[in-house]
Chain A
Amino acid sequence: KAGVTQTPRYLIKTRGQQVTLSCSPISGHRSVSWYQQTPGQGLQFLFEYFSETQRNKGNFPGRFSGRQFSNSRSEMNVSTLELGDSALYLCASSSTTGGNEQFFGPGTRLTVL
């Protein structure tokens, strides 16, 4: 079974631009969560989607948004990029059965210049 895929793997943007990241979960998984990882803050939760609905949101500004499609694929968008948005953005998928084991994709490394 294929794992979680994320595209693109690397991005370089400048301040003020916007970016869209994509995530395809493991086949059959309907829950997708997004996390931001930085050396200073560690892994921080952005949001979680299930059945195209945002179920949970972390403490991030409104510039961070996401959505989920009917095939469970998810995208997140960051508008008006700031230098502090430079991070590894991780998508994790989980099945709705079992105990919420989340499996991470390889991540998207975003650099904001």
Chain B
Amino acid sequence: QKEVEQNSGPLSVPEGAIASLNCTYSDRGSQSFFWYRQYSGKSPELIMSIYSNGDKEDGRFTAQLNKASQYVSLLIRDSQPSDSATYLCAVNLDRGSTLGRLYFGRGTQLTVWP
């Protein structure tokens, strides 16, 4: 059973704080990992992709990948009210494929209060 699991939340943090979102996945051979942000009533927007163990930083966002632990996380520094959204973790669980389906977690709803 191929699965992607996220901490269900909701997660609520004050403005300026660090928000930490976590995701685990079932297949050790997975190669591609993504974080999407989805505002209410909108479609998912790709905000981070990561393929190698370690950290990847893009502005206020840092993705962390640990393939041995089958764990990927997203840190949002200096959280802003505009970051309030549902964050979806997506993994390509089809071993060896460079194309193909993404398996999504159920999402973590983040609220940043002023």
Check A45/B45 contact, CB under 8 A, given A99-B31, A99-B32: no
**Inter-chain contact A106/B42, CB cutoff 8 Å:** yes
Q: How far is the CA of A42 from the CA of B87 in the complex (A)?
A: 12
Known A-B contacts A94-B99, A99-B31; A43 and B46 likewise in contact (beta carbons under 8 Å):
no
Verify B99–A50 contact, CB threshold 8 A: yes
A103 proximity list for chain B (CB < 8 A): 46
A102 with B98: CB separation less than 8 A: no
What A residues does B32 contact at CB under 8 A? 99-100
Q: Is B43 a contact partner of A107 (Cβ separation < 8 A)?
A: yes
A56 within 8 A of B: yes
Separation of A50 and B31 alpha carbons in the complex (Å): 20
Contact indicator B44/A55 (Cβ below 8 Å): no
Instruction: Answer yes or no: B101 CB below 8 A from chain A CBs.
Output: yes
B102: interface (CB < 8 Å): yes
Is A42 a contact of B106 with CB atoms below 8 Å? yes
Q: Are B107 and A42 in contact (CB under 8 A)?
A: yes
Contact A31 B88 (CB under 8 A): no
- A-B contacts besides A42-B106, A45-B103, A48-B101, 5 pairs, CB < 8 Å: A45-B102, A56-B99, A96-B99, A100-B100, A105-B43
A-B CB contact pairs (8 Å), 19 listed: A35-B104, A42-B106, A44-B104, A45-B103, A48-B101, A50-B99, A55-B99, A55-B100, A56-B99, A56-B100, A94-B99, A100-B98, A100-B102, A102-B46, A102-B90, A102-B102, A104-B43, A104-B45, A105-B43
